[in-house]
Amino acid sequence: MSLPVIEKIAIEDFFRNPQSNDYKISPEGRYISYMAPYKDRMNVFIKELSSGDSRRLTSVEDRNIESHFWSGESFVLFLRDNGGDENHHLHAIDLSTGEVRDLTPFEGVKVVLVDVLHEQEEEVLISMNKKNAALFDVYRMNVKTGEYSLVADNPGGVSEWVTDHDGQLRIAVASDGVNNNVLYRETEADEFEVILTSSFKDQFDPLFFTFDNKHIYASSNLEGRDKKAIVIFDPSTGKEVEELYAHEAVDVEALLYSRKRKKITFCTAVVDKMEMHFFDEIAEKIYARIAEIDPDLDFHVVSANRDENLLIVRSHSDRSLGAYYFLDWENNSIEKLAEISPWLEGKQLAQMRPISYDSRDGLKIHGYLTLPVDYQEGERIPVVINPHGGPWYRDTWGFNPEVQFLANRGYAVLQMNFRGSVGYGRKFLMAAAKEWGGKMQDDVSDGVQFLVDEGIADPARVAIYGGSYGGYSVLAGMAFTPELYACGVDYVGVSNLFTFMETIPPYWKPFLDMMYEMVGHPENDKDMLTARSPVFHVDKIQAPLFVVQGAKDPRVNIGESDQIVQAMRDRGVQVEYMVKENEGHGFRNQENRFEFYRALESFLGKHL
């Protein structure tokens, strides 16, 4: 059988803004809202279902609006920061007048959405660090008038708030960095009291209340579990009362429910791909009906009206950003709304294959390998090793424009969920304690050896590319295992573990003690952090390096990139360095994405 000939797809087709995206239906089902480009920036549009008429609601030209949501039937809301500083403001669009207002015009303040209050039209709960940069207090805001009132002061370290089904703020999750406290109150008139204390090594995540507002559905690895399971928890006793579902291989963290029918519907677990476990017959029938569209695609309901008879469905796969569909459940009709990126054809894109290999100390490492569509078995080709950011994150199966771009250019791409990646249980997570640049990096290096042993990687043409923690892994790999890599690309990565922890945002300060446990203490572990900080070992870096940074990045300060670039240049080594003044932790503006990926293509082409 002849292999398809790989056609070079334009960089812009991988990284341009979608044709449209983020479709949502209004609570009463009169409108569908969505995001689409206007002057190369993603803006909010709306379509009236009765007439079919569409119109644009916003006109931003400096930076994409990332997403939006409904408040009642009359207001569309969105969060937006300034050039990547992550100090998001809440904006409201009044459908009756078209007016767009910044509801939180406070300098240096970050807004986080706590809950859209479905039972209180035109009200939302938000949290803001308005009084103290390190603490987020909760406010109830009327989006029509802009008036807001304090609902709860943050007593210290609270990073998560949970409302009941009546919109009452009843649960808070706080951390001192090492210990987590779950706080609870019977009504908003009562004081919060601690009902559960656990180490950060234990995980208990309140999801939502049972429908009588008395118990809590949670994802928990308490009671001696290694993997998180879905449980029912009684706040009056501080004990679990029932385990609903557990998976032997991975954590179960997501649980969905029907607000109208007051029933839990299904939970999800991500193994190689996402698996669903249904609790509800109607939900199972809906997903069976959706699957009839195309059995080769995955589908998810992403929005529903209040009556849950009109649904927005999104498809996706490893070779497509997917499409949106409008499902009228009562009339059993499905209409395609839009392809997200119709200019990308699946047949020209590469398959993302789940793989696994053993680390040098016997830990099973799972990941994904993407080979060019014209790859021939037994052929050794150039490889890009692509460790993920976080590091408390994981790669999953699905469409990744970076991976598809690299495969289209003839590179194999390996993404590995090294130890410390989430979703694989407590032991796997804690195997990463104080292993930045140590065993975590060994897992990455062992991935290189895996591809060499499989006869896929040309050992003389292996690059490493990653962002955030992945950028740290790039620098660590080039400094500590220089023999493995022909070049490296560090995208908003950490170079100095001391300065990284000194420059984190104020609202991350409560987690510093956890960082000391998982990464290392700047005084108690000084020698280890020095040994694991690539900036102090630039003399060992042999291969060409390309560094990329957003100037307004609040998570990985620009000083992290400046340091490594200056240290290399002080040695007389030329380093390619790209800085964008209007970007933060990753590039959002499409012209900056285009410039970066053109430079990436040139850099890899030259050195691989």
**How confident is the model over 271-299, as a mean pLDDT?**
94
Model confidence at 83: pLDDT above 90: no
**Cβ–Cβ < 8 Å for 35, 18:** yes
The pLDDT value given to residue 201 = 83
Q: Which region holds residue 12: left if phi is over 0, alpha if psi is between -120 and 50, else beta?
A: alpha
**How confident is the model over 284-302, as a mean pLDDT?**
93
The pLDDT value given to residue 389 = 96
The pLDDT value given to residue 1 = 42
The pLDDT value given to residue 474 = 98
**How confident is the model over 227-242, as a mean pLDDT?**
96
Q: What is the average pLDDT value for the chain, to the nearest integer? A: 94
Model confidence at 333: pLDDT above 80: yes
- Annotated catalytic sites, by residue? 468, 553, 585
Encode pLDDT of 414-459 as tens digits. 999 999 999 999 999 999 999 999 999 999 999 999 999 999 999 9
Model confidence at 294: pLDDT above 60: yes
**How confident is the model over 338-362, as a mean pLDDT?**
93
The pLDDT value given to residue 85 = 86
Q: Which residue has the higher pLDDT, 209 or 85?
A: 209
**How confident is the model over 345-374, as a mean pLDDT?**
95
Q: Confidence class of residue 480 from pLDDT cuts 50, 70 and 90?
A: very high
Q: Where are the strands (E) in 345-421, listed by range?
A: 352-358, 364-370, 381-385, 412-417
**How confident is the model over 529-557, as a mean pLDDT?**
94
**How confident is the model over 556-578, as a mean pLDDT?**
92
3-state secondary structure of 556: coil
Q: Where are the strands (E) in 329-363, listed by range?
A: 333-339, 352-358
**How confident is the model over 334-345, as a mean pLDDT?**
93
**Residues β-bridged to residue 599:** none
The pLDDT value given to residue 20 = 96
**How confident is the model over 139-161, as a mean pLDDT?**
93
The pLDDT value given to residue 157 = 85
Reported as type and span, the H/E element at residue 47 is: strand 41-48
Ordered strands of the 310-316 beta sheet: 298-304, 310-316, 323-328, 333-339
The pLDDT value given to residue 3 = 52
Select 352-607's CATH number: 3.40.50.1820, 3.40.50.2300, 2.70.150.10, 1.10.3720.10. 3.40.50.1820
Q: Are strands 576-580 and 487-491 parallel, antiparallel or unpaired?
A: unpaired
Residue with tokens 């209409």: 335
Which tokens hold the place of 174? 């706080």
Q: Confidence class of residue 346 from pLDDT cuts 50, 70 and 90?
A: confident
The pLDDT value given to residue 509 = 75
- Listed by start position, the domains of the chain span 17-154, 352-607
The pLDDT value given to residue 511 = 78
The pLDDT value given to residue 179 = 84
What number of helices (H) and strands (E) belong to the chain?
11, 35
Model confidence at 4: pLDDT above 70: no
The pLDDT value given to residue 189 = 92
pLDDT above 70: percentage of residues in the chain? 99
The pLDDT value given to residue 199 = 84
The pLDDT value given to residue 572 = 84
Encode pLDDT of 502-531 as tens digits. 988 887 777 788 889 899 999 999 999 999
Q: Confidence class of residue 460 from pLDDT cuts 50, 70 and 90?
A: very high
Encode pLDDT of 117-138 as tens digits. 877 778 999 999 999 988 899 9
**How confident is the model over 16-39, as a mean pLDDT?**
96
Select 17-154's CATH number: 2.60.40.10, 1.10.1840.10, 3.30.420.40, 2.120.10.30. 2.120.10.30
- Look up residue 471 and give its DSSP letter: H
Which tokens hold the place of 96? 């009756």
Helix axes 590-607, 401-408, angle to 10 degrees: 40
**Residues β-bridged to residue 368:** 354, 415
Q: Which residue has the higher pLDDT, 571 or 324?
A: 324
